[in-house]
Structures are given as C-alpha cells and as structure tokens.
Amino acid sequence: MSQDSGRDPIAFVDQRLGAAATTRKALRYVFPDHWSFQLGEIALYSFVVLLATGVYLSLFFESSLSRTVYDGGYAPLAGTEVSRAYASAVRLSFDVPAGLLIRQTHHWAALVFVVAIVMHLMRIFFTGAFRKPRELNWMIGLTMLGLALVEGFAGYSLPDDLLSGMGLAIAQAVAMSIPLIGGDVTYALWGGEFPGSPEFHSRLFITHVLLLPGALAVLIALHLALVVRQRHTQFPGPGRTERNDVGSPMWPGYALRSLSLLAAVCAVLFLLGGLVQINPIWQWGPYEIWEGTNGAQPDWYLGWLIGALRLMPNWEPHVAGYTLVPNPFWGGALFPAGLFGLLYAWPLIEQRLITRDTSRHELLDRPRDNPVRTAAGVAILTLVVLVFGFGSSDRALVTAGFAYSLQLTVTRVAVFVLPPVAFLVALRVCRELRDRDAHPLREWDGGYVRRRPDGGFEVVPEPPRSSAPPPR
C-alpha cells in the first residue's frame, strides 16, 4: 500500500505533500449555478489570454523612442523616420508569423476584460452581493477595475502611434490639472514634460508589462481566496439557506463547463483578433506633437472620460492671472474620482443610511427586492452612459449629422435631468414588481408556502388561474 513505485501519481503526490484529502474536498467544492455568476470568470479568462498574448508580444516589441528608419513589409511607411517602438509594433504586425493575430487578440482581450469586469460589477451591485461579509472583496474588485483601465490605457499608449501620443498628452494634462500637487507629481511620473523625457517610455513599458499585471494578479488571487473563504452567494431557491451553498460540485460537471467557458473566451477573442481589425497603428501614423486626427477613437472604456472632458464648460478659476484649477480636472479627474469614491463607499452608505441592516447576507436580492439600491444604480448608470455617449459626439456628427453644439446643449441638460428621472422610474418599477411579485417578461412561476394541519410548512405550485392574485 505504501510502496513507492512511481506509477501511481496520486500516491506519489500524497506521500510527499499529503494533498489527497484536501484535493478531494476541493473537487467536491460547490458552485451555485446562475448564468450571471460566469461574468467574473469571463474577466478572469480574458486576463489569462492577455498574459499569454502579452508575453508573445513582449518578445518582439522594442520599448524605445530612439529614432530609426522603418524598412518593414508595410510599403507606405517605407523609409519614414519613426521611433523604434512604433517600428517594432508595425513590424510585429506585418512581418512576424501570427504577430498581427496575437496583437489584435491582445487588444480585443483588453476590451473584453473591462466589459466583463463592468458587467460583473453591475451583477454584484444589483443583487446586493457586496453586503456583509463581502465589502472587502467589493473594494478589491473596484480596485481591479481601476487598475484595468490604467493598464489598458498604458498598453495602447506603448506603440508610439498618433493615438498613443494624443492619449498620453491628454493624460498628462489631466494629471497636471490636479490642484496644488498635480504639476510636481506629474513631472515625477513622466520624468518631465511630454514628449521629451527619455525615461518615460521605459516607465510606461515596465508599468504595463510588470507592475500593473503583477498587481492585478495579486488582487485576483486575493479576490478568489476571499470567495473561497466566504463561499459563494446564491439566489434564494428550494433548499437554499443562509447557511449552505447549493449547486454543482467542482468535479466533474462544473470544472468541465468552466473550462468550456475558457475555451469559448479564447475562441471569441482569437476570432475577433483575426477577423475584426483593431487599432491599425500604421493608419494612424507615428506620433508627432503637431498632428491630430479625429477619426481615431480611444478604447471604449475611456469614452466616459473623453465625454466628461468635452462636456465640461470652459470653467477655469484663476486669481490675478494665475490658474487655480485647470479645466481638465473637472471631467478627467474629479468625475472619475467621485464615481469610484461613491462605489467604494456604497456598501457603507447602504448599510448606514438605506437599509440599516448589519447582518450577513448569503442569499442574493433580486434587483426589485431593494428598490432604492436598484434605483440609485440605474441613476448612476444613466449618468455614466450619457457622458459616455457624448464621448462619441464627433462620430455622431460625422455619421448621423447631429449638430455638435446641439448634442452638447442636450447632453448638458440631460445629465442633470435624466438621472433623477431614471431613479424615480426604476424605484416605481421595482416597488410595483416587488409588490406584485411578477416577472416583467414571464408569467408567475413561483409557489405558495402553505401550513399543513400538522404544523409543518410546504410549498405548493401555482393555484388555478381563477384564484386571487398572490398574497403580499
């Protein structure tokens, strides 16, 4: 029994690590089932794709702004003097086998990564999954969202194409606009003015390929460790209580389905990466400070910041000829800081001001179950979507002909009017649904709890249609 033939891997590992009992327990770990619980997994698997494709790219990318003459396979740029970063990014797109596929897949994965995080965030918010005991994990998740935005921005700023340079110039202006400390902190980060500091590109590179991915990896590990420690939330249902988890065990069903999701994420990203062009840097051209373009759009997750910068009136307080608060501060720094601050504080706000409920919650709310929370979430979402939409105002002008000034006026009014309206509508809808307990798209499919003569309780299915509406 204890012989060490080396033929039995389970015995081999267990005799050295004593891992058999733990592994068996892990294989029977229960995952509650609901499609919305997969959103976080999609983010995780996008991150896996990002790491794998990113490593491949880093083997070919040259992080240097020193000048060189491009002589690769893209004829229109032949003989142009460009930076080595730009030249190598174009070269890996045209002259490295599968280089373009991997580069575009990397970019698409970054977009999907942030989409999945935002969807996951909304799922957590609207079902109240952030409540005690999960407030810390909510904050870790928000931090990862913030890091993912910066990481994505740093990534598309690396190739030193025109879009990179314009983005970095705006980012520097926003950072400098922070009152009092902005100028000095920005100069420390950028190593001086932009463009011009030779160190900056190396800093950007190490930030993108090591510091932020490392921080994200640590936070992901922490995020998952907390989930395992606290176990999963679940929607209410038969046999589900605050003290248990009902669902599929890890082995074999859940593991196979989750790996299937990983493969599906890979499939979608590689198909996008090869079939749908993204960020054609050879079309934008190399960055020069005197050039600009209004056809190129930044990655989607920056749209709300562009929109906020554009939406702000040209308000720039100054005293005796000296600027106090430069304009980019309002839309580029204060707006996102306020939004993230509100989200970080939400579990506390809800606990102290709205529900006054300090007990633990393992069973999820449906959005209607907490109308004020849902309405607040809808209002915030309305504001962000309006501002985000205005980030595409120039595209709306070019493609649909909506006058820019008209869009500006309408959106400036709408950001004050629509969120409160959305709040009231969502509040009303939630209360109505909760009171009638009807699903907006489905017929009544619940059951009734009935007390039996012997004192126990039982759930009976739907009574005949003619009976009275379900009791409140």
Partner 1 sequence: MRRLLRAIVALLVGTRAVRGAARGEQPEQTEADPRRREIVSTPRRELVLAVLLLAAAAFAIAFVVLILGGDPVQWEAVTLGGAFACLAAALGYAGLKVVPQETEVEERPQLEGPEAEEQLRRTLAAGGDGVSRRRLLTVAGLTAGGSLAAALAVPAISLGPAVGEAPFRSPWRRGRALVDEHGEPISADDVVEGSHLTAFPADADPRELGSPVALVRVAPDTLRLPPERRDWAPEGLLAYSKICTHAGCAVSLYRYPLSEDTTGEPPALACPCHYSMFAVREGARVIGGPAGRPLPQLPLEIAADRTLRAAGPLSGAVGPAWWGVRRT
* C-alpha distance from residue 31 to each of 38, 239, 365 (Å): 11, 15, 18
Q: Can residue 72 be called a binding residue for partner 1 (CB under 8 A)?
A: no
**Cα–Cα distance, 65 to 84 (Å, whole number):** 6
Q: Can residue 325 be called a binding residue for partner 1 (CB under 8 A)?
A: yes
Q: Can residue 267 be called a binding residue for partner 1 (CB under 8 A)?
A: yes
Q: Which DSSP helix (H) or strand (E) runs through 256?
A: helix 255-275
Contact assessment for residue 324 and residue 317, using Cβ atoms and an 8 Å cutoff: yes
Q: Is 124 helix (H, G, I), strand (E, B) or coil?
A: helix
Residues 6 or more apart whose CB falls under 8 angstroms from that of 346 comprise 125, 130, 138
Contacting residue, 72, 249, 285, 389, with partner 1 by CB under 8 A: 249
Report the nearest approach of partner 1 to the CB of residue 78 (Å).
18
Contact stretch for partner 1 (CB under 8 A) within 13-21, 73-81, 181-189, 426-434:
181-189
Pairing of strands 457-460, 448-451: antiparallel
Residues 328-357 that bind partner 1 (CB under 8 A): 328, 331-332
Residues 9-38 that bind partner 1 (CB under 8 A): 28-30, 33-35, 38
Contacting residue, 51, 215, 227, 268, with partner 1 by CB under 8 A: 268
Contacting residue, 110, 306, 333, 386, with partner 1 by CB under 8 A: 306
Q: Can residue 459 be called a binding residue for partner 1 (CB under 8 A)?
A: yes
Q: Can residue 460 be called a binding residue for partner 1 (CB under 8 A)?
A: yes
* C-alpha distance from residue 71 to each of 50, 77, 86, 274 (Å): 29, 8, 12, 24
Residues 96-125 that bind partner 1 (CB under 8 A): 97-98, 100-101, 104
Residues 6 or more apart whose CB falls under 8 angstroms from that of 295 comprise none
Nearer to partner 1, 14 or 33 (CB): 33
Q: Can residue 294 be called a binding residue for partner 1 (CB under 8 A)?
A: yes
Report the nearest approach of partner 1 to the CB of residue 249 (Å).
5
Nearer to partner 1, 70 or 200 (CB): 200
Contact stretch for partner 1 (CB under 8 A) within 152-160, 322-330, 372-380, 427-435:
322-330
Q: Among all chains, which residue has been given the structure tokens 């309006």?
A: 386
Tell me how many degrees the CA angle 237-239-245 measures, rounded to the nearest 5.
85
- Max distance between CA atoms of the chain, in angstroms, equals 91
Contact stretch for partner 1 (CB under 8 A) within 7-15, 271-279, 337-345, 410-418:
271-279
**Cα–Cα distance, 459 to 146 (Å, whole number):** 45
Contact stretch for partner 1 (CB under 8 A) within 14-22, 73-81, 289-297, 423-431:
289-297
Contact assessment for residue 112 and residue 360, using Cβ atoms and an 8 Å cutoff: no
Contacting residue, 27, 55, 221, 289, with partner 1 by CB under 8 A: 289
Residues 131-150 that bind partner 1 (CB under 8 A): 133
**Cα–Cα distance, 444 to 468 (Å, whole number):** 13
Nearer to partner 1, 253 or 420 (CB): 253
Nearer to partner 1, 70 or 423 (CB): 70
Q: Can residue 309 be called a binding residue for partner 1 (CB under 8 A)?
A: yes
Q: Is 209 helix (H, G, I), strand (E, B) or coil?
A: helix
Residues 385-414 that bind partner 1 (CB under 8 A): 393-394, 404-405
Q: Can residue 255 be called a binding residue for partner 1 (CB under 8 A)?
A: yes
Contact stretch for partner 1 (CB under 8 A) within 8-16, 136-144, 223-231, 346-354:
223-231
Report the nearest approach of partner 1 to the CB of residue 401 (Å).
15
Contact assessment for residue 273 and residue 99, using Cβ atoms and an 8 Å cutoff: no
Residues 201-220 that bind partner 1 (CB under 8 A): none
Contacting residue, 461, 464, 469, 471, with partner 1 by CB under 8 A: 461
Contact stretch for partner 1 (CB under 8 A) within 76-84, 113-121, 252-260, 342-350:
252-260
Contacting residue, 198, 236, 253, 338, with partner 1 by CB under 8 A: 253
Contact assessment for residue 112 and residue 198, using Cβ atoms and an 8 Å cutoff: no
Report the nearest approach of partner 1 to the CB of residue 286 (Å).
11
209-215, Cβ contacts within 8 angstroms, sequence gap of 24 or more: 209/54, 209/58, 212/147, 212/150, 212/151, 212/154, 213/50, 213/51, 213/54, 213/151, 215/147
Report the nearest approach of partner 1 to the CB of residue 427 (Å).
28
Q: Can residue 322 be called a binding residue for partner 1 (CB under 8 A)?
A: yes
Nearer to partner 1, 14 or 316 (CB): 316
Q: Can residue 60 be called a binding residue for partner 1 (CB under 8 A)?
A: no
Contact assessment for residue 254 and residue 248, using Cβ atoms and an 8 Å cutoff: yes
Nearer to partner 1, 30 or 381 (CB): 30
**Cα–Cα distance, 369 to 330 (Å, whole number):** 35
Q: Can residue 179 be called a binding residue for partner 1 (CB under 8 A)?
A: yes
Tokens of 72: 């690769």
Contact assessment for residue 434 and residue 369, using Cβ atoms and an 8 Å cutoff: yes
